[in-house]
Amino acid sequence: TAITNHLPTAELQRLDAAHHMHPFTHGQELRDKGARVITRAKGVWLTDSEGEEILDGMAGLWCVNLGYGREELAEVAARQMRELPFYNTFFQTTHVPAIALAARLAELAPGDLNHVFFAGSGSEANDTNIRIVRQYWAEKGKPSKKVIISRQNAYHGSTMGGASLGGMSGMHAQGGLPIADITHIDQPHWWAEGGDSDPQEFGLARARQLEEKILELGEDNVAAFIAEPVQGAGGVVIAPDSYWPEIQRICDKYEILLIADEVICGFGRTGNWFGCQTLNIRPDIMTIAKGLSSGYQPIGGSILSDEVARVIEGHEFNHGYTYSGHPVACAVALENLRILDEEGIVTRVREETGPYLKEKWEGLCDHPLVGEANIIGMMGSIVLTPDKDSRAAFAAPEGTVGLICRERCFANNLVMRHVGDRMIISPSLVISRDEIDTLIERARLSLDETY
């Protein structure tokens, strides 16, 4: 029989367990429990194979910025597939979707970030960035400038390059990671690592680790610094205000290229088109993916400044992906950007729904389990703790209580993720006030049931 939505859930779960391997998953545990089968979605709501409606507090994987079920995107994809389903941009050819999307991104991106190299995902785009920054310095006559500095607990993807740039210890433990000439400084995570220090002093000290690392390695050996404007997968870690101006000063002083990984922060999530605009950062390169197409098609890319692009384009760049500038993905992304713009969705996050969510989210701090709430635009975290005053950790291993909370949320038909004992949200940007109220009610109920 054909495998369709009409099969019983248990049969779909059996087939899933038998043949489908899930990313970032303990396969045996999932097999015993059975994966929840998602069948359709509209707005911020998912429907599962039992007909349950689930509020998606994560916009898929931080990516469905426009919400699910937009017909316009389906129409554009179908039209593009009929007209030109594929052609590459490698060997002296181009096509209209890639031209139009690159031109639109150059308009939206801040400063002189005017040149786009397309990839199929955020991980691929960060692999591209490794090549770009090293080739850039080699062409400028400084081939020793190779090292890329990143941060512990950063997430920059799952390829060998992306996972090396990332600072996830579990991934590095797989071996061979990080690849050569990538090193990490500490993250600006005051709650977890700030001890008794003042948060602003702590932010400055963490930023100055970049300077210390550059001096230790020698500035002639350092190519770039990469960071997410707000660490997403690390637990929505918002740096103290003192942090970014100091990072910018250090990059400028030592001529270190600054790569802002906007894969999560980009396309409205922080209330501006890019996180860099919210946090006043001036990158030389931005990594983009996810919200670029609202996840309707896989696409990512790197946006380069005039100067970086000029140097890279002075020679052949021996790098690219079959799906760089895929016409269907580009056409869908362009339509996604049109709707985000014309419906004023980014402005609404900044001026209306973002402030409303912030008020409600911070209101969770009156719950006995919640030590701190962090939020910027449509990405937030709460820290679970048994003792707010001492910021103590639970007696159970890190992440145990967070996992229970996530499971309670899921049982209450709310998707919220946990990173250790932090709970995080990143809903679609189209979430309404009523839906925000429902999200908060379900989060509170789940917290009550957690501990």
Q: Which residues contact 289 (CB under 8 A, 6 or more apart)?
A: 63, 119, 121, 122, 125, 263, 299, 300, 301
Considering only 228, 246, 284, 435, the residue that binds ligand PLP (CB under 6 A) is 228
Does 222 interact with ligand PLP (rule: CB under 6 A)?
no
Does 244 interact with ligand PLP (rule: CB under 6 A)?
no
Considering only 80, 123, 153, 209, the residue that binds ligand PLP (CB under 6 A) is 123
Q: C-alpha 18: how far from its chain's center?
A: 30
Q: Which stretch binds ligand PLP (CB under 6 A): 13-21, 122-130, 303-311, 363-371?
A: 122-130
Considering only 185, 192, 258, 263, the residue that binds ligand PLP (CB under 6 A) is 263
Element (H, E) at 17: helix 9-19
Question: Do 288 and 262 touch, CB atoms closer than 8 A?
Answer: yes
Q: How far is the CB of 42 from ligand PLP (least distance, A)?
A: 23
Give 300 or 402: the residue with its C-beta nearer to ligand PLP. Answer: 300
Burial 123-146 (b: 16+ CB within 10 A, else e): bbbbbbbbbbbbbbbbeeeeeebb
Q: How far is the CB of 319 from ligand PLP (least distance, A)?
A: 16
Nearest alpha carbon to residue 34 among 58, 54, 8, 53:
8
Give 34 or 298: the residue with its C-beta nearer to ligand PLP. Answer: 298
Considering only 127, 211, 246, 261, the residue that binds ligand PLP (CB under 6 A) is 261
Does 122 interact with ligand PLP (rule: CB under 6 A)?
yes
Q: Which residues contact 343 (CB under 8 A, 6 or more apart)?
A: none
Using CA atoms, how far apart are residues 91 and 93, in angstroms rounded to an integer? 6
Q: Is 7 helix (H, G, I), strand (E, B) or coil?
A: coil
Give 298 or 355: the residue with its C-beta nearer to ligand PLP. Answer: 298
> What's the one-letter identity of residue 411?
A
Give 117 or 435: the residue with its C-beta nearer to ligand PLP. Answer: 117
Considering only 233, 309, 357, 383, the residue that binds ligand PLP (CB under 6 A) is 233
Site size toward ligand PLP, by CB under 6 A: 16
Nearest alpha carbon to residue 44 among 357, 343, 438, 435:
435
Give 155 or 274: the residue with its C-beta nearer to ligand PLP. Answer: 155
Which residue has the CB atom at the shortest distance from ligand PLP? 122
Q: Which stretch binds ligand PLP (CB under 6 A): 251-259, 261-269, 345-353, 439-447?
A: 261-269
Show the binding pattern over residues 152-181: x = contacts ligand PLP (CB under 6 A), - = does not: ---xxx----x-------------------
Does 56 interact with ligand PLP (rule: CB under 6 A)?
no
Does 300 interact with ligand PLP (rule: CB under 6 A)?
yes
Using CA atoms, how far apart are residues 167 and 151, in angstroms rounded to an integer? 6
Give 379 or 382: the residue with its C-beta nearer to ligand PLP. Answer: 379
Q: Which stretch binds ligand PLP (CB under 6 A): 37-45, 85-93, 119-127, 129-137?
A: 119-127
Q: Is 85 helix (H, G, I), strand (E, B) or coil?
A: coil
Using CA atoms, how far apart are residues 245 and 279, in angstroms rounded to an integer? 9
Does 426 interact with ligand PLP (rule: CB under 6 A)?
no
Q: How far is the CB of 290 from ligand PLP (least distance, A)?
A: 6
Q: How far is the CB of 184 from ligand PLP (least distance, A)?
A: 15
Three-state secondary structure readout of 282-335: CCCEEEECHHHCCCCCCCEEEEEEHHHHHHHCCCCCCCCCCCCCCHHHHHHHHH
Using CA atoms, how far apart are residues 218 and 221, in angstroms rounded to an integer? 6
Element (H, E) at 371: strand 370-376
Q: C-alpha 176: how far from its chain's center?
A: 24
The binding site for ligand PLP (CB under 6 A) comprises 121-123, 126, 155-157, 162, 228, 232-233, 261, 263-264, 289, 300
